[in-house]
Structures are given as structure tokens and as C-alpha cells.
Structure 1
Amino acid sequence: MRTIAEINDKISRQAAVVCTAEEIKARVAEVGVAQTAKTVDVVTTGTFEPMESSGAILNLGHTDPPIKIRQCWLDGVLAYSGFGAVDLYLGATQVVDYPGMSEAADGEENRERGGGHVIEDLIAGKPVQLRALGQVTDCYPRAAFETTITRDTINQFYLFNPRNLYQNFIVGVNGGDRPLFTYLGPLQPRLGNAVYSNPGAISPLLNDPDLQLIGIGSRIFLGGGTGYIAWEGTQHFPLQKRLPNRAPIGPAATLALIGDAKQMDSRWVRGCYFKNYGPSLMIGVGVPLPVLHEEVIARCAVQDKDLVAPIVDFSIPRRVRPTFGLISYAQLKSGRITIDGKPVRVASLASIFLSRQVAVELKQWIEAGKFLLSESVAPIPQDRAFMPQNLWGSQVSLD
């Protein structure tokens, strides 16, 4: 029906018809797939959820005399410095760990602060304290320095996130007898609550289940700025079992994303903390899907009742945990589910409201002619198996 070049021409003339994923589902229910496909050019999807496999690349610029940084802390958070002399990678889940920090300074507020919070502050234009120790060489004679940086006083500052946009995930519960503190947040004992983290039918990759419309190089909304799909994500598992509608029944595809953090907005990149687990980063990501043919609309018409996730019991401390079966996102979003005959309250880690707002903002960019779609340069692999790490010859204790 269309090409990306034809759609971009309409975007440039501000003549493209753009709908959010929610609007598409409503339109299909009203006029059907074929009629919708004739009139819509782009579908925007969005999510705002914790994405802990994220971080930022920074280049500080050289000091005089120069330094070859081998240890560096940003507001007390350790950054990786094992490559270029003044290149750093700040991981979202890295915690405050400042040498010589006194017990008085190591308060609750500091313990809850991590790389994600520093990234948010830099994006917001706030000053960040930097302390660096160097390896003294003939090229780099300086041994240490301290300064204050902002996003405007360093060269490069961009997010490079090895694993974002999980295509589906799990529902966490706790069938044990004590509270558990997990990457889904606190799970109360004896099935006291359930937590899920995917926004369901408006989530980007659930509207393009076989990743036919995106690939390496695809332009996206990332943290309030323009980003790109850089590669498959870590733990990419497209061979996950799927329903007849091609939706995976659990964690499946993932994407590595990249984008200029100097263009981003701290509204869409926020540090967060999970009690007794650690810091992380909430990120808004939106993916535009070009309507190239009717099948695009058919896939985007998927509803929460047609998508499922496994209910996983975190009380069993193993890599493969037992499940209580599959549950639909429609049931999850009702706020209460039933497990083994017991009513269980449910909460979402993803903000459904802000996920919708990501899709709306991306729609507005496209309608205004400010955001063009891009052809991918290579497909996302569809044949990756999920390989666990088996500790052959090692004695592993679960105590």
C-alpha cells in the first residue's frame, strides 16, 4: 500500500494521518481493518517503565595537564573508566560508593541514589560533582582532579542502553512466608500482591510482534529526544512461545537503544529506587510503526484481552521459577486477579498514563513534520535462543 518514503513525503507536508495505538484499536472496532489501513499512515506506540539495563556515555574533555582516568565518581556513583582517557560509562543501577564516605554521610538518601538519578540530573541541566583518579603516564601526567560538570560543559553525553523495550514480561508474586524485595518492587508473602511491568496493548513491540516494521537504524522517541535502535538487546529471545496472534507468552525480543541525552527531557528519564533492591531508571520510549499494508493494522488491533503474561513465584530462589499459569493484561489492568482461588491485588510498574503520553507526544511530532521515519539498515535477528549460564564444575550454594 505505501512505502516509508511516501509516508515521509506526507509527514514533510504535514499531511500524514497519525494515530496512537489506542486510537487505532478504537478505529478498527468501528470501521474495520481494511478501511483503517486505507486512511492511516503511522501508528505511534509508547511505554514508560523501569529499564535497568541502561546507562550513559560521557566524554569529559581533556584537562591540562591531561589525565588518564581509571577511577571516577559522579555525585559519589562509580562510573566505568576502563577505555578512553576521559570517556566514561555510567550505569543506571550503579550505587553510591564513594571512598572514605563517612557513616554520617552514608544516609538513607544516599543509599537510595544511583546512576539513574545522576543521569536524570545531568539531563535536567543540574550540576554534578566529579572526582577522578588517574594512571600517571608520560602522555597523562595528572594523578587526580575534582570538578563540577553539567551536560553543557562536557563533549558527548548520550544514552546507550543494552536492553530496553522488553517484548512482554512477567507478573511477580510471592508464595512464601516473608516479604521479598525484587526488581518488580516489594512482593508481599502468601500472595499478598502481584506486580507487572509492561503496559500491554499499547506497548511498542506487542504491536509489531515479529519486528517486521523496525530494525537496526530505526528512528524512535527516546527520553523526550530522538533515538535509534542500535542492535538487538541483551537477552533477546524472539523464539519465545507465542499465541496464534504471534504475541509472546513471556519475555521475548529486546532492543539496544541509543540517543543524544543533551536533547532529552528529564520528564521522560527519571531515576528511581526499589526498596532493598537498588536504583534503576524509568525511561519513556515511543516507536512509530509505518502502515505499509493491512497486516500492520491487523497486528496493531490487538487488545489487552488477547495478550498474556506468566505469573511467576519469586519465593523459589532459582533461575527457572514455578508459575501459576498465564493471565491476560485485561485482567491485570482490572487491579485484581485470582490465584488458586484467592483474590490478589495487582499494580503496574509501568505508568499507563505516561505510556499513553509518550505515544501522544510522538504523534504530535510526526503531525508537525518534526519527526520522519527511517528505513532500517538491517533486521533484528529472529533466531536467537536464550542461553543460561551453567556453572559447570562449580559448587553453588542457595543459602
Structure 2
Amino acid sequence: MADFKVNKTVGEINERIRKGKAVVVNAEEMIEIVRREGKVRAAEQVDVVTTGTFSPMCSSGLLFNIGQQPPVMKVSKLWLNNVPCYCGIAAVDAYIGATEPSEDDPLNKVHPGRFAYGGAHVMEDLLRGKAVHLRAEAYGTDCYPRRELDKDITLADLPNAVMLNPRNCYQNYNAAVNLTSRTIYTYMGPLKANCSNVNFATAGQLSPAFNDPYFKTIGMGTRIFLGGGIGYVIGEGTQHVQKPKRNERGIPENGSGTLMLKGDFKKMDVRYVRAQSLVGYGPSLALGVGIPIPILNEEIAWFTGVSDEDITMPVKDYGYDYPNGIPRELARVTFAELKSGEVTVNGKKTATVPVTSYTMSLEVADKLKEWILKGDFLLTEKQDDIPSY
């Protein structure tokens, strides 16, 4: 174990939270503290740094149970507002993915791929207390004889509703441009022809995984802010890159770490769970995620001092290169440059467009900070590591 000048435990920090003595700052505030005081003094002064992001997170969804009513049923197909759900789990359990489109959306028929309504919209409707239409089919068995079910339901009617997200909180990502001569429509938003805009994601210096780049405090069992309620990290997400190329601060230079998350959907806040319709791509879900970083030592304090100037992102072409699996990097820019509103790509000054809300990301970090300062949110120790070396 490294010989640190500062050594704290999560238990000690939680005791300070209970007594109302914990020093909690958001990740933006921590930058100046580390610059002014240095990492050792910062570690001595600060107990928790709160992070936040509010961004489209396509790999999200809802695991739910519709309950039984006589005669009982083993559902084989199920739709909520005509959005197909996956039913190969158990009798009346199902999963609806945020990006699954409605089967009867008129935009789907007129402009294939330009869906206006999908799984994310069903999730938002349920969270708003709206009724959604449930239609289910079954082949029928001796123990589960019912073959059809047709009714309206609300979130209160579901015995269980768990947000279960296979891949959230990308540690870094591409900035996207389009080098073709026509506008294209992507999960990064519309990209105009001839490199006329650069779209970029993540919350930069506020982003959870940039503040703990080696996942020294984040792991299985970490309690988090998820969609306005309390959730947990349950491990690395899908597409997690274990050994990315990093800069001198440990920040991955390309898309790398991801997190798998869960939380009680019924206790979430619709302000932080919002459906999106990405023209020409389909539905997605904008989700607020905040993760507290316990400042156990000066190394972790140093990591949480990361700024937008320390983070670089690759600019890649989504018109030809990305669809054809070509990993060419057109430019490398800092997050600070992207936030400035303009970067240079292939010698051309190009306007930048964020798909992540920095304002909402800061709100998430501050809301989590408020919970901790009030003593309503205690930290947890990770029970297993997320591979990062």
C-alpha cells in the first residue's frame, strides 16, 4: 500500500457526515482548492467531492413486474404504449429498453429510423404518473392458462420497477463531425455536411469517471445519485475498456470505462430522467448520475482536481469513418476548447455543440452535495473492483 501523508476511511468520513462536520465540495470547486492548497492540504481539508453528469445514455432501461391477476399468465410478448418489451425472464417480468421504438409511431412509417416515441418515453410517462397501455400475449400452459391481457397501468400498479442500465457514464468519448456532403443523423445528434459542426458529450471536469480515472473508490456497491433517487454501481458496464491509453493525469484518451447501474425507479425524479427523440436515430434517455468521491488520501485529491484543460478528446468522422469501422483521429482537442464554442478540424474553424448539459450536470453534483451535507446520504465502500489497469 502506498505511503500517503493523509489516510482516511469511508467509515471515518461517514461519521463526520453524521455529525454534520464533513467538508463536501463539488468537482468544479475542488479544482481551485487543489491548485491553491496542493494535493496534501486539499486531502486534509476536504472529505467528499461530488460529481455529476446529465447526458443521453442509450444503454438504459426498466426491469419491471406487472403482477398476476386470475387466471394467471406466463407472458411471452408484451408492449407498453406499443413499445415492445423483452419477456424471456419469468412469468410476468419484462424489460423495456430506452432506445426501443414504438411499433406504430407514424414517423417510423413515413421516415424509417426517425422515431419520435420509444422506451425512454414510456419510462418518463410512468414516472410522471401517466397511464400507459399494456398489451400482453402468451401461448398458455396448464399452470399459466391466460393467453391475453389488455389494460391501462400506472407506475403504482407495478409491484416492482427497477432502473437497470448496462452501460452508463462513459469515461471519455469521441467528438463527432461529418466529412460527407450531406447532413447525417446520429446518436450524437445531427451532423451537418462538410465538417460544419462538432458534437461532443460528457460533463468534462464534473464527470464521475474523470474524477476517479482508475476507479480507486468507485466499484460494485458504490451508492450514487441516479435519476434523482438513490442507486448503486453493480460493476463495469458493457464495452468497458480495461487498459486504455492514458495521459499524464491518468485520463483515458479515448472512450474507455463504463458503469452498470441500478436504482429504485419509483423513487426517481422526472427532472433527472427525460426521454429524448434524436432525429434520424431514435429514442434515447437523458439521465442524471452523480457519484461521490471520498477523499481518502492525497492521490485521490489530485485526481479530483482534474480540469477541462486536462481532458482531451478525439475528433472522428461519423460520415464515413465511424460507420465503416475506421478509427482515424482527425484532431485532438481539450474539453475546454470544445466548451469555448469553436475548434479547428482539418484546418477549418468549426462550431461545437454539446449533447450533455453542463448546467444540469452541475445541478446533479450540487444536489448530491446537499444530500450529504444534510446527512441524508452516506457513502459506501466498494465491494469489488472495476478493472482499470
TM-score surpassing 0.5?
Answer: yes
Please name the residue that 2:4 is paired with: none
Paired residues of 2:169 and 2:258 also in contact (CA < 8 A): yes
User: Partners of 2:33 and 2:386 in 1: how far apart?
Assistant: 29
**What per-residue deviation string (whole Å, max 9, x for no partner) do you get for residues 180-202 of structure 1?**
11110110111010100111111
User: Partners of 2:382 and 2:206 in 1: how far apart?
Assistant: 22
Deviation of 1:149 after TM superposition, in Å, equals 1.3
Does residue 208 of the first structure (1) align with residue 212 of the second (2)?
A: yes
Deviation of 1:104 after TM superposition, in Å, equals 10
- SS of 1:237's equivalent in the other structure is coil
Does residue 247 of the first structure (1) align with residue 251 of the second (2)?
A: yes
Q: Which has the higher mean CA deviation after the structures are superposed, 132-141 or 40-49?
A: 132-141
Please name the residue that 1:236 is paired with: 240
User: Partners of 1:294 and 1:321 in 2: how far apart?
Assistant: 36
Which letter maps to 1:8?
Answer: N
Q: CA, structure 1 residues 318+137, in 2 after alignment: closer, same or farther (shift >3 Å)? A: same
Deviation of 1:107 after TM superposition, in Å, equals 7.9
Please name the residue that 1:161 is paired with: 165
Please name the residue that 1:328 is paired with: 334
Paired residues of 1:272 and 1:279 also in contact (CA < 8 A): yes
Does residue 26 of the first structure (1) align with residue 25 of the second (2)?
A: no
Paired residues of 1:96 and 1:114 also in contact (CA < 8 A): yes
Please name the residue that 2:292 is paired with: 288
User: Partners of 1:300 and 1:321 in 2: how far apart?
Assistant: 30
User: Partners of 1:106 and 1:129 in 2: how far apart?
Assistant: 21
Please name the residue that 1:75 is paired with: 81
Does residue 47 of the first structure (1) align with residue 53 of the second (2)?
A: yes
Paired residues of 1:211 and 1:380 also in contact (CA < 8 A): yes
User: Partners of 2:387 and 2:31 in 1: how far apart?
Assistant: 28
- SS of 1:337's equivalent in the other structure is strand
Paired residues of 1:74 and 1:131 also in contact (CA < 8 A): yes
Deviation of 1:123 after TM superposition, in Å, equals 1.6
Which letter maps to 1:307?
Answer: I
Please name the residue that 1:387 is paired with: none
Please name the residue that 2:272 is paired with: 268
Please name the residue that 1:188 is paired with: 192
Deviation of 1:13 after TM superposition, in Å, equals 1.6
Please name the residue that 1:395 is paired with: none
Which letter maps to 1:237?
Answer: V
- SS of 2:159's equivalent in the other structure is coil
User: Partners of 2:307 and 2:128 in 1: how far apart?
Assistant: 36
- SS of 1:27's equivalent in the other structure is helix
Please name the residue that 1:226 is paired with: 230
Deviation of 1:320 after TM superposition, in Å, equals 2.6
User: Partners of 1:135 and 1:179 in 2: how far apart?
Assistant: 46
Paired residues of 1:216 and 1:230 also in contact (CA < 8 A): yes
Does residue 136 of the first structure (1) align with residue 148 of the second (2)?
A: no
**What per-residue deviation string (whole Å, max 9, x for no partner) do you get for residues 120-170 of structure 1?**
111222211111111211111111011111111111101000000100111
* Unpaired stretches in structure 1, ≥5 consecutive residues: 384-399
Paired residues of 2:331 and 2:345 also in contact (CA < 8 A): no
Please name the residue that 1:303 is paired with: 307
* Unpaired stretches in structure 2, ≥5 consecutive residues: 1-6
Paired residues of 2:201 and 2:356 also in contact (CA < 8 A): yes
Please name the residue that 2:360 is paired with: 354
Please name the residue that 1:66 is paired with: 72
Taking structure 2 as the reference length, what is the TM-score of the superposition?
A: 0.95
Paired residues of 1:121 and 1:266 also in contact (CA < 8 A): no
Does residue 319 of the first structure (1) align with residue 342 of the second (2)?
A: no
Deviation of 1:111 after TM superposition, in Å, equals 3.5
Of 82, 100, 122, the residue aligned with 1:118 is: 122
User: Partners of 1:12 and 1:128 in 2: how far apart?
Assistant: 41
Q: CA, structure 1 residues 56+104, in 2 after alignment: closer, same or farther (shift >3 Å)? A: closer
Which letter maps to 1:382?
Answer: S
User: Partners of 1:166 and 1:350 in 2: how far apart?
Assistant: 12
User: Partners of 1:178 and 1:361 in 2: how far apart?
Assistant: 42
User: Partners of 2:334 and 2:281 in 1: how far apart?
Assistant: 27
Which letter maps to 2:53?
Answer: T
- SS of 1:23's equivalent in the other structure is helix
User: Partners of 2:131 and 2:274 in 1: how far apart?
Assistant: 16
User: Partners of 2:108 and 2:364 in 1: how far apart?
Assistant: 38
User: Partners of 2:179 and 2:379 in 1: how far apart?
Assistant: 46
- SS of 1:256's equivalent in the other structure is strand
Identity of aligned residues (%): 42
User: Partners of 2:262 and 2:234 in 1: how far apart?
Assistant: 6
Taking structure 1 as the reference length, what is the TM-score of the superposition?
A: 0.92
**What per-residue deviation string (whole Å, max 9, x for no partner) do you get for residues 270-303 of structure 1?**
1101101110101000000001001111111111
User: Partners of 2:158 and 2:185 in 1: how far apart?
Assistant: 37
Deviation of 1:47 after TM superposition, in Å, equals 0.1
Paired residues of 1:314 and 1:321 also in contact (CA < 8 A): no
Does residue 382 of the first structure (1) align with residue 388 of the second (2)?
A: yes
Which letter maps to 2:19?
Answer: R
Q: CA, structure 1 residues 359+165, in 2 after alignment: closer, same or farther (shift >3 Å)? A: same
Deviation of 1:38 after TM superposition, in Å, equals 1.0
